[in-house]
């Protein structure tokens, strides 16, 4: 069965430091992987996706994610964190059976401190 796991409930980082939010996956076949962000009292916003090609995927707001097939990981990264990056981040993978139904991880809360 398709699944994603986000091993950290919360990540704390100082403003200006690099950040990493972790995601591991278990899929059959070629993985499609997504990252979404949720700001307080808002809906989810698409950040980036991996379908095929380069292992480093660039997305919105300066975020990027590194696909690692051998480690079955798709970690979200940013070279220099901003306080405004503080939000809830979700990794997701499509459910088998088509129609682009997504399975989400439990979410990781990122707190960036001034």
By the criterion CB under 8 A, which residues form the site for other proteins? 9, 34, 36, 41-46, 49, 51, 90, 95, 99-102, 104-107
Give me the least distance between CB of 70 and other proteins, in Å please. Answer: 25
Rounded distance between C-alpha atoms, residue 75 and residue 66, angstroms: 6
Nearer to other proteins, 13 or 47 (CB): 47
Rounded distance between C-alpha atoms, residue 105 and residue 93, angstroms: 9
Give me the least distance between CB of 18 and other proteins, in Å please. Answer: 25
Output phi, psi for 45, to 5 deg.
Answer: -120, 135
Nearer to other proteins, 81 or 91 (CB): 91
Nearer to other proteins, 53 or 114 (CB): 53
61: left (phi over 0), alpha (psi -120 to 50) or beta: left
Rounded distance between C-alpha atoms, residue 18 and residue 77, angstroms: 7
Give me the least distance between CB of 15 and other proteins, in Å please. Answer: 26
């Amino acid at each position: 069965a398709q699944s994603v796991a986000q091993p950290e409930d919360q990540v704390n980082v100082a403003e200006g430091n690099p950040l990493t939010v972790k995601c591991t996956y278990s899929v059959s076949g070629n993985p499609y992987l997504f990252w979404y962000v949720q700001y307080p009292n808002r809906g989810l916003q698409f950040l980036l996706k991996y379908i095929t090609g380069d292992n480093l995927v660039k997305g919105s707001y300066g975020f990027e994610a590194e696909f690692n097939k051998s480690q079955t990981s798709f970690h979200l990264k940013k070279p220099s964190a901003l306080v405004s990056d503080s939000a809830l981040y979700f990794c997701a993978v499509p459910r088998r059976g088509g129609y682009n139904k997504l399975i989400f991880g439990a979410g990781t809360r990122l707190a960036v401190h001034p």
